[in-house]
Structure formats: structure tokens, C-alpha cells
Structure 1
Amino acid sequence: MGVAIRTAGEDDRELVVRLLDEAFQDDPVSSWVFPGEEYRRSTHHRLMGAFTDAVLADGWIDLTEDAAACALWLPVPADVGDGGEGDGGEGDGGEGDAPSQVREAVDPDNERVELIARLTEGIHPQGRAHVYLWMIGVTPGRQGEGLGTALIEAALDRCDREELPAYLEASSARSRGLYERLGFAFTGRALDLPDGPRMWPMWREPRQGARQGAR
């Protein structure tokens, strides 16, 4: 039985934010950005809101019809590296600098909100147009049912038809294994967060023949 998927709209914003907040409460990177369970539960949703707003503006969000899982995708043009989670720009902390603006809006006293954007920006591949899987979340009670895989496969089919590579950062060894099974390969340059977990940048070339097969 297939998984029904639709594109989320502005009316789905709060639903998506709530889903991501719940799905990433125990994620290693979220736990590093917001250390301490009570602190994370009171603040984490603000960052998920910033991510959702950014992708609704410049990308698209795939959402299962039952609202149990979502995937946030951003198109990245050639020669432009994306800012990673929560960022699409560069700068030195001045006006117009996306990482510092996100920190100010989400949690001004938490430098890790800004740092995660700058660090992921530094490892993001440049030079070729691609799509970036910013985040994918499955509500805790539905994890393990294949919903995340279905969301990714639907987007990768589109990538294959359009001959576009895809990129992501795996935040755990377990998710890295899943992405490898879907055709992603580790770029060879891991990101070790200061006093925190490791992230694995991963790249997937479009599969040859998919475009012709769709005709």
C-alpha cells in the first residue's frame, strides 16, 4: 500500500512545526543546540518554525496525507552553497546575515543556533545545482513504518527525472545507513560539532535512465 503525499502550504505551517518539534526532540544535533530536556522543550519549536518559514518561502515541503511525516526541500542553484540548517546566506554577523538573524529571532543567548548554520554552510557542496533535504521528520509514534523512506523516494524520483543531484547531512549513524540504501554517499568530510555529535554530509547523483524510463 502506497503512502499518499501532498505539498504543504501556508495553512499547514503550525502542523509542520509541531511535527518537526516532536520528531527532533531526541535528535543528537537538536540536543546539542538545545542542551537539557526542559530547555529544549520550551525553545526548540522556535527553530523549527524558522526552518519551516524558510522552506515555505524558497522550497517545498512534502507532507504525508495523514500528517505523520514531512520532508523539507530547498533547491540550490549552481555555484551557491546553502547555509545548512536554518541559513541561506553568508556574512560576518552584520545586517542581512541569516545565521545571526535566526539566532536573534529564535534564542539570542544561544550561540549554537548561529554556529550550526555557519558550520553546515562551510561543508555544503558548491558548483552544481542540486536539491537539499534540509530536514525530514516522522512523528515518534509512527517511526519505523517507512514513511520517511517513502517521502525521500518520491523526491528522488523527481530528481532522477530532472537529472538533479541531491544533498543532505545525516545526523546519526542510523540515518546515514538509511540514506546510503537510498543511493546517497558520504562526501568524505564529516562535521564534528564542538563538544557534540558528528554529522555526515551525503551526496546522491541522479540515476541514469530514469528520465528516459518516464517517457
Structure 2
Amino acid sequence: MGVAIRTARGSDRELVVRLLDEAFQDDPVSGWVFPGEEYRRRTHHRLMAAFTDAVLADGRIDLTEDGAACALWLSVPGGEEPGDGQDDVPVLVREAVDPENERVELIARLTDGIHPSDRAHEYLWMIGVAPDRQGEGLGTALIESVLDRCDREGVPAYLEASSGRSRELYERLGFEFTGRALDLPDGPTMWPMWREPRRCA
């Protein structure tokens, strides 16, 4: 049986923020940005809210009909990076989320610095699955729905894996490590991954 997927609306904002907050509480990168369990519990949701607002404005959020998983996508035109032509987005995000935490700004700058900019592509910014629903294939279904369209339209896709487990999932879906890892200062590794479109039969 397939997974029912719809496009999130503004009225889904709080659901998406809560879902991302729960899904990424134990993520290595979230733990680096917000060190300490209590601090992360108090503050992490603000960053997820900033991401959600950005993608609701400029991209698309796919949501399973039961609200257990979501994927945040941006269509990136060739020759541009997310944030091109805008104000200093990392600074604005830090000010809105946690002004005293320089890592909020740093993670945005570091990921922008490794983001490929020469070809148009679909960028999977984040994907979150409720902790008690992980392992059911919801994340795979969300990603495959977009990759099927990428294959039909001849568009590549890009993401940064934030854990070894997620990297393995993405590899099964056809993503390949670009060869240039991002080692966060005194923190975990992120793996930029690219997927060329597959020929449709």
C-alpha cells in the first residue's frame, strides 16, 4: 500500500515545526549546533521554525497525510546558491533563533559553502520522520516521489547527509557522495550527496 503525500500549507506550519524538532533532537548536527540536551530541548525548535518558514515561502514541503513525516525541498536554479541576492541570511537566522549561538550562523555558512551552484537541481534541505514511525519507509516514500519527477524531467538532486545512517539510505536511492565532506569544527561530519537523474523506461 502506498504512502499518501500532500503539499503542506501555511496551516501545517506548527505540525511541521514540531515534527522536525522531534525528529532531529538526537541528530549529530543538531547536537553540535545546540550542545546539551536541556538547551537543545528549549531552543532547537526555533531553528526548525526558521527553516520551515523559509521553505514555505520559497520551496515546497511534502507531508505524509497522517502527519508523521515531512520533506523540505527547494528548487535551486543553475548559477545560484540558496540565499543568493538576499540579505545576509545566516546572520538573520542567528538573530531570530539564538543570537548568542554562533553555530547557528556557522552551520548555514558552511553548508552554503559546499552547495553546488553550477547546475539547476532539487535540494532536499531536510527530511523528518516522527521518532516512533522511523523505519516504516515514510522517508523513502517522500524522497522517491520527488526523485521520480526529477527522473522524468532530467533534473539532478542534492542533499547533505547528517549521519552515517541517513547517508546509507540516500545511497540506496541513487545519491553519491561528492567526495568533499564537511567536518564541523569539533563536531560531526556531513556528507554532500548528488544524484543524477535516471533515464525513465
TM-score (norm 1): 0.92
The answer to whether the aligner puts 1:77 opposite 2:68 as a matched pair is no
- Counterpart Cα distance in 2 of 1:50 and 1:102: 7
1:174 partner amino acid = R
- Counterpart Cα distance in 2 of 1:172 and 1:123: 17
Q: CA RMSD in A?
A: 1.0
Match 2:181 to one of 169, 180, 190: 190
Match 1:101 to one of 82, 87, 92: 92
Q: Equivalences for 1:1-215 in 2 at 5 Å? A: 1-82=1-82, 88-89=83-84, 96-208=87-199, 210=200, 213=201
Check conservation: 1:76, 1:131, Cα contact below 8 A: yes
Give how far 1:146 is off. 0.5
- Counterpart Cα distance in 2 of 1:109 and 1:187: 33
Unaligned runs of 5+ in 1: 83-87
SS at match of 2:158: strand
Q: Deviations over 1:143-184 (max 9, x none)?
A: 010100000001100111111100000001111111000000
Give how far 1:90 is off. 7.3
SS at match of 1:15: helix
- Counterpart Cα distance in 2 of 1:194 and 1:160: 36
Check conservation: 1:89, 1:97, Cα contact below 8 A: no
Give how far 1:81 is off. 1.9
- Counterpart Cα distance in 2 of 1:32 and 1:171: 11
Identity %: 81
Check conservation: 1:89, 1:99, Cα contact below 8 A: no
Cross-structure match for 1:85:
none
2:153 partner amino acid = E
- Counterpart Cα distance in 1 of 2:56 and 2:37: 28
Give how far 1:80 is off. 0.7
Check conservation: 1:90, 1:98, Cα contact below 8 A: no
Give how far 1:126 is off. 1.2
TM-score (norm 2): 0.98
Q: Deviations over 1:124-151 (max 9, x none)?
A: 0111000100000000000010100000
SS at match of 2:136: coil
Residues paired across the two proteins, number: 201
Give how far 1:89 is off. 4.1
Give how far 1:205 is off. 0.5
SS at match of 1:104: helix
Give how far 1:61 is off. 0.4
- Counterpart Cα distance in 1 of 2:177 and 2:79: 20
